[in-house]
Every structure is written in C-alpha cells, then in structure tokens.
Amino acid sequence: MFWRTFSFLFLLIFGACVGEALLHDYKPWSGAFLGVLFITLMWYLWSLSRAYEVLHWIKDRPGESPPQHSGLWGQIAERVSRLSRAHDQALLGSEQRLNEFLQAIQVSPNGVILINARARIEWANQTAMSHLGIDIEKDRDQLIGYLVRDPQYVAYMNSLSYDHEVVIEGFKSQINAPKRISLQLFHYGDGRKLMLTRDVTDFEKAELMRSDFVANVSHEIRTPLTVLAGFVETMQNLPLTPEEQARYLGFMQQQSSRMQILVQDLLTLSRLEGSPMPSYTDWHSVENLCNNCEVEARGLMAILKSDSGLEHRLLFSIEPQSQDFKVSGERAELQSAMSNLISNAIRYTPTGGEVRVESRMCADGSWFFAVHDSGPGISPEHLPRLTERFYRVDRSRSRETGGTGLGLAIVKHVVQRHGAELKIESTLGQGSTFSWQFPKARTRLALLEEKLTDNAVSAS
C-alpha cells in the first residue's frame, strides 16, 4: 500500500512538472494542473479496467484462476479466490455428508418420508416406497393423501394428534399373504412432517401366534385334567363295581397319555429350535426310512379300522429301490417328520380314499418326498398358518383324530434344519400334498461312489 501511494504521488508530481514545462507560456500553474488531471484520469481508467476484469472473473469465470494483478485489485482477487475455494470445499463436504446420510437412510429397515408444509412428498427412501407403493420419481410433490388412502390413515392425518402410530394394510397386501405397515408422523421445521414406516407383519403374526399358543396350551392341558379330576372325584365318592373302576381307569389312562404326548411334542419343538444343524456325516438308507414308515402306517390303519371303521388304500412309491440311496441328518427327526405326514394323511382321509407316499431321487441328485391324500382338502386362507403350533382347520375333527396340533410344526422345523422347505398344496374336495426336497448335499448313492472308488484304485 505504501509503494502504491508513493507511486501515485510520484506520477502526480511528474505529470505536474511535464505539464508546466509544456504549457509554461500560458497562465501560471495551468500546465501543472492539467498534468495532474491527466495523470489522475489515466490512473482512474487503469484501476477501473482492473476492477472490471476482477468483477468479470467473479461473475463469469469463478472456477478459473484469478487475474494476476499486483496491488489492491490483485489482493482482492486473491482473497476472493481463497474464500471461494474454502466455500467450495465446505459445500463439497456438506454434499458428501448429506449423500452419506441419505445412503444410510436408504438402507434403514424403517421407511422415511419427508413431507413439506403443503402435505406434499419431498423425498422417500426405498423402504418407504416398498411399504406404501410410492415411486419418488413419479410421485414427488404429490399429496400424500392421494397415495395413502387407507381410512385409518386418513382419520389419523385429520386428527392432528401424532403422538401414536397407526397400522394400515401395506402395498400388495393379500388375504393369503397380509402385509401390515405401521405409520407415525413427527413435526419438524416450519410446518414440515417426517413420516416413519415400519413393517409389523411378522411382529403381529408372532404376537398372534404367542397368544394362540398360550390359549391352546391352556386348553389342551385343561381338557384332560378336567376329565381326570372328574373321574378321580367319582371314584372317591361313589361305590363302583370292579368293571366300572376298570373302565374309568382306562379313560384316565387315555387322558394321561394324551397329556404325555402333548408334553413330549412341546419338548421336541423346544429341542429342535435350540439345536445346531444336523451333521453331514450320519447317512441313513431312504428305503429303510420308508419301510419303517409303512410298517407304522399300516399298524395305525389297523387300529383306526377296528376303532372307527376307517379304511382306505395306502400306496408306497419308492425310487430307487435300493439300500444305496442315502440321506444325511438326524435319523429320529427324519423318521418323525415322515411318519407325521403319513399319519396325518391317514387320519384325515375319509373311508374309501387313497394315501400315496412318494420318495425318489431327482435328476440333480436331490431327494423328493411327498405324501398325497384324497381327503377333503384345505381352504387357501388356512395354508399360510397350517404349520403354526396348535393351529387347526377343524378343531372338532382334530380332537376326534387324537392330534395335538403340533405335528406339522415339528415337521416344518425338521425340514428347515436339514436345508429344505415344507411345501403344502391343497384343493378343496380333491385332497392335499405335503412335500419337501432335500438338497443334493444331503444325498448320495453309496453303490455308485464305491464303484467309482474301485475303478480309481484299479486304474492306479
């Protein structure tokens, strides 16, 4: 700044001297005045051009390097450039943090929707879009009430009281596969709202299963206990003949056996849920498993025929008919799952019907097992809950057949522990099919492996 002031004063003196020397014949000091005026005008125009160049750089070329000037305008340009770079870096950092924040919200298991003061959608993450069927590219700036029309949500929105959540039907919810979504609004900013969505389908299902489980266990145990208590009181207070005592004791034995089976099934379920996956080292013949099931099934059919006259055809289709086709896992669990499916089919198929058991090795090496029956069939709305504990399509019929309501739940857990899935297909009036397909990793043909090993040894 000192040198700039000194230069300006020096030029003024120099201009005054030159002007006085050139115009000394005119009025005194008029030449010096004109020289100073000329230098001042030139200095002003020069500074103005530099100022215009800096202003043009600020307005039209902010990304380029600043003009390389000395003096005041050069310092101003350098300072503006430094501030601009700092601002750009801060803006870039803010954008990066905003993108990271939005990415974190995108992967959140909860849905997030931003709604402006006009009740229009500003932004939504993928979870919220899947919950409510929103496409943010098409539905941005749309009224949220146009897209979510559930009566419970409309009443919740109009109540202006958002201190609780509301549960509505989710996008693509069906009778056989319901989807329940929890919504809650929160005020923020100037009239804006934040909507959080949460899929509570599994939670409501688990809560329903828990309440049903408690109610069913209480009922299943209370019924035989009531019968036992009634017979005990009768035997204590009434004189009975030996024949009557024997008959009452038989009834009591039947009810105690029913409770014992129920407790055993509950313990089995508890053990299955807390046990590690079955090993791949224990191999069992599929034909032996099927043969054992056939013996048990025919014994059950004989009992049902003598007790209630129930009689129908039982067919076993086992392929390959060889001891060499084996499956790995827990033998007791596999036997229990197979027997459960077969006994259910026998009990629920009316007289004159047919139960067919199919076991075969698929082309990819997996094991397919299925039980087909020609029973009354099951309505579609019951199929999703059929493997729940104590769930029964017809409770009165289940009591008659002696089931505990835990058989299919046990089968499902056994099958899942062995890496497969229990599939249920049924048509009313035409019967049902219960099947699974064990992965190739759990099957083998021992004879084929032995032949390959012998060939390898012979070749060597």
Q: What single-letter DSSP state applies at residue 179?
A: -
- Mean of the pLDDT values across residues 116-136? 90
Last residue of a domain, one of 94, 118, 148: 94
Contact status, residue 370 vs residue 434, Cβ threshold 8 Å:
yes
Residues 295 and 376 in one domain: yes
Distance CA 50, CA 400 (A): 103
396 and 295 belong to one structural domain: yes
Sign of CA pseudo-dihedral 173, 174, 175, 178? negative
Q: Can you give the pLDDT at residue 90?
A: 82
Average pLDDT over residues 411-421: 92
Q: Which of 37, 62, 94 is the last residue of a domain?
A: 94
Q: Report the DSSP pairing between strands 354-361 and 313-318.
A: parallel
Shared-domain flag, residues 211 and 189:
no
Same domain (yes/no): 430, 402: yes
Is position 460 within any domain?
no
Looking at residues 118-147, what average pLDDT do you find?
90
Taking the C-alpha atoms of residue 271 and residue 346, their distance in angstroms, rounded to an integer, is 27
Higher pLDDT, 9 or 344: 344
- What mean pLDDT comes out for the span 197-223? 79
| Out of 32-36, 167-171, 180-184, 310-314, least confident range | 32-36
Average the pLDDT over 117-142 and give the result.
90
Give Dmax (Cα) for the chain: 163
Across 148-164, b (16+ Cβ under 10 Å) vs e yields bebeebeebbeeeebee
Average pLDDT over residues 63-88: 70
CB 292 within 8 A of CB 299: no
Give the best-scoring range by mean pLDDT among 67-71, 93-97, 163-167. Answer: 163-167
Kindly state whether residues 222 and 137 are assigned to the same domain. Answer: no
DSSP for 377-407 reads ---GGGGGGTTSTT--S-HHHHHHHT--S-H
pLDDT at 451: 46
- How does the average pLDDT of the chain come out, rounded? 81
CATH number of the domain within which 248 lies:
1.10.287.130
* Same-domain pairing of 304 and 368: yes
pLDDT band at 368 (very low <50, low <70, confident <90, very high): very high
Judge whether residue 303 has pLDDT over 90.
Answer: no
Domain that holds residue 146: 108-199
Distances (CA, A) of 426 to 193, 194, 431: 47, 45, 6
236-265: b (≥16 Cβ within 10 Å) or e: eeeeeeeeeeeebeeebeebeebbeebeeb
Q: Mark whether 215 and 192 lie in a shared domain.
A: no
Percentage with pLDDT > 70 across the chain: 84
The lowest-confidence range among 72-86, 102-116, 226-240, 359-373 is 72-86
Per-residue model confidence (pLDDT) at position 415: 93
Per residue, what are the HEC states of 136-154?
HHHHCCCEHHHHCCCHHHH
Whether the predicted pLDDT of 174 surpasses 70: yes
Dihedral angle, C-alpha 386, 387, 388, 392, nearest 10 °:
40
So what's the pLDDT on residue 6? 67
Say which range, 269-278, 335-344, 389-398, has the weakest mean pLDDT. Answer: 389-398
**What would the mean pLDDT of 304-321 be, rounded to a whole number?**
81
Q: 190 with 118, same domain?
A: yes
Decide if 365 is inside a domain: yes
Backbone angles phi, psi at 115, to 5 degrees: -120, 130
> Do both 438 and 353 map to the same domain?
yes
Task: Flag whether 452 is in a domain.
Answer: no
Q: Do 393 and 300 fall into the same domain?
A: yes
Q: Do the domain assignments include residue 456?
A: no
Q: Residue 170 is encoded by which pair of tokens?
A: 């989710």
H helices present in 61-188, as ranges: 71-106, 126-132, 136-139, 144-147, 151-159
Q: Give the 3-state DSSP-derived string for 266-331, with helices as H, strands as E and coil as C.
A: HHHHHHHHHCCCCCCCCEEEHHHHHHHHHHHHHHHHHHHHHHHCCCCEEEEEECCCCCCEEEECCH
> Is residue 333 situated within a structural domain?
yes
Question: When comparing pLDDT for 452 and 12, which is higher?
Answer: 12
Find the range with the poorest average confidence among 48-57, 95-104, 221-230: 48-57
* Residue 453 falls inside a structural domain: no
What confidence score (pLDDT) does residue 42 get? 80
DSSP state of 120: B
The answer to whether residue 427 sits within a structural domain is yes
CATH of the domain at 326: 3.30.565.10
More confident residue, 74 or 222: 222
Same domain, 21 and 145: no
pLDDT at 175 over 90: no
Higher pLDDT, 293 or 79: 293
Number of domains in the chain: 4
| pLDDT surpassing 70 at residue 85 | yes
The predicted pLDDT at position 398 comes to 47
* In the predicted structure, residue 369 carries a pLDDT above the cut 80: yes
Residue 457 in domain: no
In this structure, are 290 and 253 located in the same domain?
A: no
What DSSP character marks residue 442?
Answer: G
pTM, entire model: 0.54
How many whole angstroms separate alpha carbon 197 and alpha carbon 148? 12
Query: Which residue, 274, 296, 323, sits at the end of a domain?
Result: 274
Those residues whose C-beta lies under 8 Å from the C-beta of residue 244, and which sit 6 or more positions away, are none
